[in-house]
């Protein structure tokens, strides 16, 4: 019988033993479990999701009246051994369902205490605000663990300064990025500022004085700050701009790179579920497979292949307090090919925006409106823009300009609109000093007006 001789050379490098508080130890263990998905295979991930789905269906059937009725309507008892078959047979869960069946969607088991429940509310940018209940301990642990993983993927240093700027934010100054980082012994300054509390110049003064390594704000606000900084010939740089609330368009990336020498890091989340996808170092969005099963489907609720735009459905695999199964966010997205980074989680090539942003041409073709602004946003004389469609016909491009448009500008705008498939509609340009944006976090770059175009806004 041979014996392995333990030597100094064979030992791992010594580390100081560290005792973490139970709360942090649990969080770090969960993060490591999520991290393991990076080293698995698509087939193994699917098998794990199958087990999670089966557990969610059993729980929903037992404790939620809404889901018991819906599952019974598809002969759940006959097909329950095939969770993915159950999933594909279920009707889509709409925002209207959440509003009308809020109480019956709840799933309450005996040991669950009401103090463990939090209620998340959507921003209402769709015109249909909804409420979703979550088991706070489970939700926050998964959310924070995924946040830590996202920081790790992007190689951020929590010992540096981060500035957070957004509508409705409560101003604050802290010596860390939060309690978790304090427990990890990482103390980097963080400062929060309300976007409505000052002008672009005020915010630039604040950033110049604070000198943060990271700026977290909406891509639209980041672009506005960038353009203003270029106008004033200010030199402000960041390691990264972290997106918040809105989708990122190429125009946002272009201006932020020009002004701040920084990329905008894409993330995909929603109030109802939390994290949906995070970016790898190659800046490809990977679905958060440990906690979310994301589908992209066509108008018949059939899966879309890579390259085809479809509607986003999400199933929150840990949503036991109020199961969200095949919930339709109202977003449009497109699958991408596997990423060169090697991570096996599915890749979202593009998030097109809201489903309500589609314009339907007379020939039946549907065109996502937001990305028409990718080229428009790079014209130097245009500070902001919004499309309006009147009575399903006239297209009006509302422009906030720094100077009057030239004939060349107008011709270029017309070419952009026509080449994107809108040449079948009457097209008008309206120059304004300031666009009257609604007072909410997210901006809609396209709105529908039921009445005919009368020549004014």
Report the DSSP beta bridge partners of residue 47.
Answer: none
How confident is the model at residue 439, as a pLDDT?
63
How confident is the model at residue 379, as a pLDDT?
72
Average pLDDT of 76-95?
95
Confidence check: pLDDT of 125 > 60: no
243 neighbors 221 (Cβ within 8 angstroms)? no
Confidence check: pLDDT of 126 > 60: no
Whole-number Å distance between alpha carbons of 441 and 414: 30
How confident is the model at residue 440, as a pLDDT?
57
How confident is the model at residue 390, as a pLDDT?
86
pLDDT tens digits, one per residue of 371-419 = 555 567 667 777 778 888 888 788 888 888 888 888 888 888 888 888 7
Report residue 336's pLDDT band, with 50, 70 and 90 as the boundaries: very high
Average pLDDT of 48-54?
96
What interhelical angle do 22-35 and 136-153 show, nearest 10?
60
| From the candidate CATH numbers 3.30.300.30, 3.40.50.1820, 3.40.50.300, 1.10.3720.10, the one assigned to the domain spanning 361-449 | 3.30.300.30
How confident is the model at residue 97, as a pLDDT?
94
How confident is the model at residue 10, as a pLDDT?
41
Alpha-carbon separation of residue 359 from 23, 34, 237, 307, 370 (angstroms): 49, 39, 38, 19, 10
How confident is the model at residue 314, as a pLDDT?
97
Confidence check: pLDDT of 442 > 70: no
133 neighbors 108 (Cβ within 8 angstroms)? no
Report residue 368's pLDDT band, with 50, 70 and 90 as the boundaries: low
3-state secondary structure of 329: strand
Whole-number Å distance between alpha carbons of 78 and 84: 13
How confident is the model at residue 238, as a pLDDT?
98
Q: Which two tokens stand for residue 213?
A: 């390594």
Q: Choose between 374 and 323: higher pLDDT.
A: 323
Q: Residue 347's closest CA among 294, 393, 299?
A: 294
Counting residues of the chain whose pLDDT is more than 70, the rounded percentage is 89
Confidence check: pLDDT of 55 > 70: yes
**pTM of the entire structure?**
0.79
Report residue 3's pLDDT band, with 50, 70 and 90 as the boundaries: very low
Average pLDDT of 239-253?
85
Q: Domains of the chain: which residue ranges?
A: 361-449
Confidence check: pLDDT of 370 > 60: no
Q: Residue 245, Cβ neighbours under 10 Å: how many?
A: 20
Transcribe 201-226 into DSSP letters.
HHHHHHHHHH--SEEEE-HHHHHHHH
How confident is the model at residue 374, as a pLDDT?
59
């Amino acid at each position: 019988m041979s014996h392995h001789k333990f030597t100094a050379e064979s030992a791992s490098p010594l580390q100081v033993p560290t005792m973490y508080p139970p709360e942090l130890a649990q969080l770090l263990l969960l993060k490591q479990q999520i991290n393991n998905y990076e080293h698995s295979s698509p087939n193994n991930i699917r098998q794990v999701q199958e087990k999670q789905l089966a557990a969610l269906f059993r729980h929903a059937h037992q404790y939620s009246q809404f889901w018991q009725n819906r599952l019974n309507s598809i002969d759940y008892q006959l097909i329950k051994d095939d969770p993915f078959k159950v999933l594909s047979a279920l009707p889509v869960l709409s925002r209207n369902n959440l509003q009308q069946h809020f109480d019956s969607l709840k799933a309450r088991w005996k040991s669950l205490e009401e103090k463990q429940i939090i209620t998340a509310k959507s921003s209402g940018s769709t015109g249909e605000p909804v409420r979703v209940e979550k088991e706070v301990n489970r939700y926050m642990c998964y959310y924070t663990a995924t946040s830590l993983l996202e920081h790790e993927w992007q190689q951020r240093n929590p010992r540096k300064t981060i500035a957070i700027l957004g509508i409705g934010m409560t101003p604050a100054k802290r010596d860390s990025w939060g309690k978790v980082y304090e427990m990890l012994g990482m103390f980097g300054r963080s400062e929060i500022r309300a976007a409505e509390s000052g002008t672009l110049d005020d915010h630039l003064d604040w950033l110049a004085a604070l000198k943060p390594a990271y700026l977290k704000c909406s891509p639209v606000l980041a672009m506005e700050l960038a353009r203003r900084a270029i106008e004033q010939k200010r030199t402000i740089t960041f390691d990264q701009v972290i997106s918040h609330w809105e989708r990122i368009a190429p125009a946002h990336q272009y201006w932020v790179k020009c002004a701040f020498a920084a990329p905008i890091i894409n993330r995909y989340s929603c109030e109802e579920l939390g994290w949906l996808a995070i970016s790898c170092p190659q800046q490809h969005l990977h679905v958060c497979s440990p906690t979310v099963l994301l589908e992209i489907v066509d108008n018949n609720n059939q899966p879309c292949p890579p390259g085809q735009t479809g509607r986003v459905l999400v199933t929150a695999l840990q949503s036991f307090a109020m199961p969200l199964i095949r919930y339709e966010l109202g977003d449009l997205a497109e699958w991408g090919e596997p990423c060169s980074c090697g991570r096996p989680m599915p890749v979202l090539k593009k998030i097109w925006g809201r489903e309500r942003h589609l314009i339907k041409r007379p020939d039946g073709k549907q065109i996502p409106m937001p990305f028409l602004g990718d080229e428009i946003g790079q014209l130097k004389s245009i500070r902001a823009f919004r499309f309006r469609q009147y009575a399903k016909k006239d297209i009006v491009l509302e422009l906030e300009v720094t100077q009057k448009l030239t004939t060349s500008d107008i011709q270029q705008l017309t070419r952009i609109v026509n080449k994107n498939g809108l040449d079948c509609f009457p097209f008008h340009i309206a120059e304004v000093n300031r666009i009257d944006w609604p007072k909410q976090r997210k901006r809609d770059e396209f709105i529908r007006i039921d009445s005919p175009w009368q020549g004014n806004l």
